[in-house]
Amino acid sequence: MLFDEPASALDRGSRTVVNKVIRELAHAGLTMVVMPHGLQFAGPISDSIVFMDKGGIVESGPPDQILCHHPAESRTAQFVSSNGA
């Protein structure tokens, strides 16, 4: 299933509900690609993060590596730091 900004323009309560539904779908074994509006939404619901730029994959890895620790690629680090992860 593909989600394009599933929590965009939602209030906090609605974002929580959407996050819960996506987690339940993941636990049920559904494979999903989620393109979130904000990085704060991506981390908690992701098994893997793929950062793309100009049509190519720059870096991929577990959320804690990409969003919390230092990404391996400078372009990824720049994006993460400028988008509030």
pLDDT digits (tens, 9 = 90+) for 21-73: 988 998 898 999 988 867 777 777 788 999 999 999 999 999 889 888 789 99
Report residue 54 as tokens. Answer: 């100009």
Q: According to the model, what pLDDT value does residue 1 have?
A: 92
Q: According to the model, what pLDDT value does residue 14 have?
A: 93
Strands (E), the chain: 2-4, 33-35, 49-53, 56-61
Q: According to the model, what pLDDT value does residue 85 have?
A: 58
Q: According to the model, what pLDDT value does residue 11 have?
A: 92
Q: According to the model, what pLDDT value does residue 84 have?
A: 63
